[in-house]
Amino acid sequence: MNEVCFKTLDQKDPWSLKTYEANGGYSVWRKILKGEFTPEQIIDELKTSGLRGRGGAGFPTGLKWSFMPRNADMQKYVVCNSDEGEPGTCKDRDILRYNPHSVIEGMAIGGFVMNATKGYNYIRGEFMEPFYRFEGALKEAYAEGLLGENLYDSSVSFDLYTHLGAGAYICGEETALLESLEGKKGQPRFKPPFPANVGLFGMPTTINNTESFASVPDILAKGGQWFADIGVENSGGCKLFSVTGHVNEPANFEVPMGTSFKDLLEMAGGVREGHTLKAVIPGGSSTPVLTAEAAMAMTMDYDGIEKAGSMLGAGSVIIMDDSTCMVETLTRLAHFYYDESCGQCTPCREGTGWLYRVLKRIMDGNGKADDIDLLMGVQDKIMGNTICALGDAAAMPVESFLRNFRKEFEYYIEHGKSMVKG
């Protein structure tokens, strides 16, 4: 446990340059500056490691980095997505708080590989403490000469800037993040073109999640194979899981991919005394909800969770015990997406409000017999038809809640009150 991103967690001032370097930090970066690494080597190691994007989409990081036109004669950018806004997720916050240098080193390495001399870390607007920690780490890195121009007299330059968001969930979508970073209204761009070709300020850009960047230095220090071996097939390495909800000790846990859900639940102290597990959202509110049975049989890796009927997402495990009213929970989630939709494209702008209003009406005791079919119909019409994934994210919980807990909805509609809470 806690082998990569959290390895300094239990030490004194885990966020300091001193602690980071005492644990082998910046060794890879210093080797790069001495010319001991080539970009191709780094991409190969990353491919071997099986590291997949930790923001939610799970796209192989090595492959992503190889798409950048590194030799194109123009400014290129590396952007870190620290706009961690998915309900249930709080892992990047703790990486920034306790191990900010790993993000800096990961981004610098990314800059070297992609031949990008500028980087931005876009941090969620509400993250004041992580923001100051990261800024502090940046200062230390600059003071040590690890960032800047022609570092240690090499031809390598890398400048890194922090940008604080303004609190919109949509800006966690990478192209909306780029728009926001450019000073525009945070609205996703249609793709293609992808950021690797037309990204920040129209230039080639690689965007990765905080945890992905933070994992890179150790992978290169210890080898891709070492990382791959920690996890299971198709899910290399370890992963941070934010376990929240009805557990006794909610926390972030960095565990090997493939750890059983049962063990993870155990680490978080199990469900509350006197209650039984009812449902689990394994990857953040945008991923489908699972029943207790399905969850208990699941292993925490990309394929394991998919087999159980959901997605690993950002590793945000929301635990619900038998006191949870699923109608109420879904209504709250639907409100979140309704509130956070940017309004740019039709299905999401109109559909999220429709979903929420129907659910709200059911909650108000005015449900109608065909509302479940209506909700299924509406979510299905949003799914896959939008510019970005927010539409899908709004649709998936509706579909899975209704599929797995249909009886509760039928009860609410028929009786005008909750089956669980009365």
Partner 1 sequence: MADIEIEIDGNIINAKAGEMLIAVTDREGISVPRFCYHKKLSIAANCRMCLVDVEGAPKPQPACSTPISDGMKIHTQNDKAKASQKAVMEFLLINHPLDCPICDQGGECELQDVAMDHGSDVSRFTEGKRIVADSDIGALIQTDMTRCIHCTRCVRFGAEVAGIMEMGGTGRGEDMKIEPFLAEGIQSELSGNMIDVCPVGALTSKPFRYELRSWQMNAVSNVARHDLVGSNIYTQTYKGRVKRIVAKDNESVNETWISDRDRFSYEGLSHENRLLVPKIKVEGAWQEVEWNVALDFAVRGLEKNVRQADQLGALSSNTATLEEFYLLQKILRGTGSENIDHRLNVKDIDNTISLESNIKLAGLEGVDHALVIGSNLRLEQPMINHRLRKASLSGASIDVINAMAFDFNYRINSENIIAPNQTALTLASILKSVLKSAHTEVPEYLGNAEVTEIATQLANQLTDSDNSVIILGEHVINNPQALSISNLISEIAQKTNSTILNVSATANSMAAGLAHFVPGKGGLDVNAMLAANLNAYILLDIYPQYDFHHSVQAIEALSNDDTFVISLNSFKDDVVSEYSDVLLPIASFYETSGSHVNVEGKVQSFTAAVNAPSDAKPAWKVLKVLADLLELPGFHYADSMQVTSEIMHKSYKQHVHDENIDITVKRGVNVIWQKSPYAVDVLSRHAVSLQDTKIGQINSASMNKATAKKLEITQGDNYLGVPVSISESVANSCVFVNANHAIRGQS
Q: Which of 31, 34, 139, 185 binds partner 1 (CB under 8 A)?
A: 185
- Residue with smaller CB distance to partner 1, 9 or 57: 57
Q: For the sheet containing 159-164, what is the strand order?
A: 159-164, 118-123, 77-82, 205-209
Q: Mark the segment that binds partner 1 (CB under 8 A) among 5-13, 134-142, 200-208, 333-341.
A: 333-341
Stretch of 201-209, 213-221, 350-358, 397-405 lying at the interface with partner 1 (CB under 8 A): 350-358
**Does residue 347 touch partner 1 according to CB under 8 A?**
yes
* Residue (18 or 381) nearer to partner 1, CB: 381
Binding of partner 1 by 269 (CB under 8 A): no
349 binds partner 1 (CB under 8 A): yes
- Decide if residue 350 touches partner 1 (CB under 8 A): yes
| Four-residue CA torsion sign, 80, 81, 83, 88 | negative
Per the CB < 8 A criterion, the answer to whether 215 and 54 are in contact is yes
Which lies closer to partner 1 via its Cβ, residue 324 or residue 344?
344
Q: Judged by CB, which is closer to partner 1: 114, or 382?
A: 382
Q: Which stretch binds partner 1 (CB under 8 A): 8-16, 156-164, 264-272, 351-359?
A: 351-359
Tell me which residue has tokens 């036109």.
Answer: 69
Packing angle, helices 406-415 and 326-340, rounded to 10: 90
Separation between Cα atoms, residue 236 and residue 343, nearest integer Å: 37
Instruction: 41-44: list long-range contacts, CB under 8 Å, 24+ apart.
Output: 42/109, 42/112, 42/113, 42/220, 43/113, 44/224
Can residue 339 be called a binding residue for partner 1 (CB under 8 A)? yes
Which runs of E-coded beta strand occur in 290-330? 290-291, 299-300, 316-321
Q: Which H, E and C letters describe 308-328, residue by residue?
A: HCCCCCCCEEEEEECCCCHHH
Which of 39, 125, 270, 353 binds partner 1 (CB under 8 A)? It is 353
Q: Say how far apart CA 41 and CA 66 lie, in whole Å.
A: 11
DSSP summary character for residue 89: -
Q: How far is the CB of 167 from partner 1 (least distance, A)?
A: 12
Please tell me whether residue 342 binds partner 1 under the rule CB under 8 A.
Answer: yes
Q: Which of residues 377-396 bind partner 1 (CB under 8 A)?
A: 377, 380-382, 384-387
Sites of contact with partner 1 (CB under 8 A): 168, 170, 185, 190, 192, 338-347, 349-354, 357-358, 361, 374, 377, 380-382, 384-387
